[in-house]
Amino acid sequence: MLQKDSFFRKRDEPPVRFVPPPVPTPPQTAPQAARPESQPAAPRPEPHAAQAVVKGEERKEAKLVVGPDIKMKGVEVTDCDTLVVEGRIEATLDSRVIQIAEHGIFAGTVAVDSAEIHGRLEGELTVRKLLVIHATGKVSGKVRYARIKVEEGAELCGEVSVLDKIVSAVAARHA
């Protein structure tokens, strides 16, 4: 039976209830015998494993938001469905979606299904489906895309190519 008093007692107070020590198989040392009763060793891992299974079933989307005053440098973002950049990030990303806010900056290598750019992207960008560059967006570097939508006022510069044409050209060279 759990007593609330024992939960909030001071650490130097003796335990409220007595639990007989486990039957020793190997010789015990003094620190193990003095282990407090409130910290059982065996049952701890099992609840965590059960929680991981439940969380895995409830998984909807892995989303990472780099806030407005956050700067990340030299990282590789993996297992992320959606990356939202409101600050500055220098990274390598392979994901489903990247969204760069108006004041957000991404520098590095990106391979995504879709990209929505309101801020700046510098580096290598590969978009397997749709690239949208809004009026406030600026994209520079090596850009490859399947489909593109560019609003008036947006900036796009560098080496720009369509993915279908790249795949066709590579296939023709190897044939």
Q: Which domain holds residue 145?
A: 63-174
**Cα–Cα distance between 99 and 129 in angstroms, integer?**
14
In a domain, 109, yes or no: yes
Phi-psi domain of 11 (left: phi exceeds 0; alpha: psi -120 through 50; beta: other): alpha
- Per-residue pLDDT, 78: 87
Average pLDDT, the chain: 78
Helix (H, G, I), strand (E, B) or coil at 128: strand
List, for residues 107-153, the tens digit of each pLDDT value.
Answer: 999 999 999 999 999 999 999 999 999 999 999 999 999 999 999 99
In a domain, 82, yes or no: yes
In a domain, 147, yes or no: yes
pLDDT tens digits, one per residue of 63-77: 999 999 999 999 898
**Would residue 38 count as lying in a domain?**
no
Sorting pLDDT into bands at 50, 70 and 90, what band is 164?
Answer: confident
Spell out the residues 6+ positions from residue 164 whose beta carbon is closer than 8 angstroms to its own. 146
Evaluate whether residue 127 is within a structural domain.
yes
**Assigned domain for 107 exists:** yes
Q: Is residue 6 part of a domain?
A: no
Residue 79 lies in a domain: yes
In the chain, how many domains are there? Answer: 1
